[in-house]
Amino acid sequence: MPRATTLILILAGLCCSSLGQYNEEEDLAWLQYYLRQSRSSSYNYVPYYEEESPAYAYSYPSATDVEPEAEPEPQQAAPWRCPQECDCPPNFSSAMYCDTRSLRYLPFVPSRMKYVYFQNNLVTAIQEGAFDNATELEWLALHNNQISSEKMGKRVFGKLQRLERLYLNNNNLTRVPSPLPRSLRELHLSYNHISKVPPSALEGLENLTALYLSHNFIFEMGASLKGLKSLILADLSYNNLRKVPDGLPVSLEQLAYNHITAIPDDYFQLSPRLLYVRMSHNGLTNQGLSSNTFNSSSILELDLSYNRLQKIPRVNTNLENLYLQGNQINEFSISSFCSVVDVMNYSRLQVLRLDGNDIKRNAVPPDAPLCLRRATVIEI
């Protein structure tokens, strides 16, 4: 399946159902940060800091300056000492930096550590008990390695009851690690070889706010998202899904670049705070949609570009941005936007893209300016 750079979101509104743990202002700031980053790159590996800058700015030698290692045996340091393979800055004593050093194994993690960085190495395995000493860990970065599911201990993360962010993207995983700590807030598993996510894989993660599973080979999600009560973002783009997952997250979902052809009638009605729906580059047809599939008063942005639609689907008058470019639409029906056209009834649509369809500008009906009076961009 082609790997494109466009990242398209299905974004929903924020909900404070995380057992009072996070307030709405924090979640909104987090989502605004994510949206800014998603516009500039297809995936951002830089962890999100609530402060303006990391607590410690560190540097390390480039990969070309590091002498090849002869796969030494891991040496267990004293519980308070920093392993010789890593850096533990004295002014940030709870952090350990072991990234980009051509390591083939995981060094011992001292018990005081809360933030550990192993990314950009050559690690292939995580032995059982590798983190049993580091029960204070909150942030664990293991992305950009060669870790496989077969060489990962079954309960390797079992004792990390304070872990909030786990980065395992860009590895060779074929399944979601399980069990995972209930404290987890972010789980990064993009760019692996995962094909299926059973419900038990994410069981108990009621504090999880962000789940990244893009660029895998997932063909089935089942009901694995249903128990994730605090979920804000679920990135399932660039997979092999043929139907939408059971149970939308409360807030945000990405399903672009899959093979979805239909959506159940009440699918989006189950998430009344849904703000953004982005499902471009699928196989959606008008036959696979009901007349009111997208007629939700909460949706502000709807991206259905590069599908197989022949008609403009009916949308709510609260919608502000509608992207339909690259379909097969051959008519402009004003009833898709306004059921009644008069001075008091009009659409709040600001941006409408219909370019790349089988429709001409002279097909726009004469009452369109009255219905679409707020539109600043209409591309045909």
- pLDDT tens digits, one per residue of 259-287: 999 998 888 887 777 788 889 999 999 99
Look at residue 352 and tell me if it is in a domain: yes
Q: Who wins on pLDDT, 116 or 42?
A: 116
Average pLDDT of the chain, as a whole number: 82
Q: Check pLDDT > 80 for residue 182.
A: yes
- Confidence (pLDDT) at 306: 97
d(CA 246, CA 125) in angstroms, rounded, equals: 33
Q: In sequence order, what are the residues at sequence separation of 6 or more whose Cβ sits closer than 8 angstroms to the Cβ of residue 52?
A: none
Look at residue 39 and tell me if it is in a domain: no
Q: How many structural domains compose the chain? A: 1
- Angstrom distances, CA of residue 239 to CA of 1, 8, 72, 172, 221: 8, 13, 38, 16, 11
d(CA 190, CA 171) in angstroms, rounded, equals: 9
Residue from 239, 242, 245, 214 nearest 227 by CA: 245
Look at residue 53 and tell me if it is in a domain: no
Angle at 304 between CA 300 and CA 309, to 5 degrees: 130
Residue from 352, 356, 353 nearest 373 by CA: 352
- Confidence (pLDDT) at 2: 46
Given a contact cutoff of 8 angstroms between Cβ atoms, the answer to whether 163 and 183 are in contact is yes
Highest mean pLDDT among 61-70, 226-235, 249-258, 298-307: 298-307
Given a contact cutoff of 8 angstroms between Cβ atoms, the answer to whether 288 and 22 are in contact is no
Neighbour tally for 58: CB within 10 Å:
12
Reported as a single tens digit per residue, the pLDDT across 323-377 is 999 999 999 999 999 999 888 889 999 999 999 999 988 889 999 999 999 999 9
Q: Which long-range contacts (CB under 8 A, 24 or more apart) does 16-22 make?
A: 17/229, 17/230, 17/250, 18/206, 18/207, 18/209, 18/229, 18/230, 19/206, 19/207, 19/229, 19/230, 21/207, 21/230, 22/209, 22/230
Question: Rounded to an integer, what is the distance from CA 220 to the centroid of its chain?
Answer: 17
Angle at 273 between CA 271 and CA 290, to 5 degrees: 50
pTM: 0.76
Which domain covers residue 369, as residue numbers?
Answer: 280-294+305-379
Look at residue 362 and tell me if it is in a domain: yes
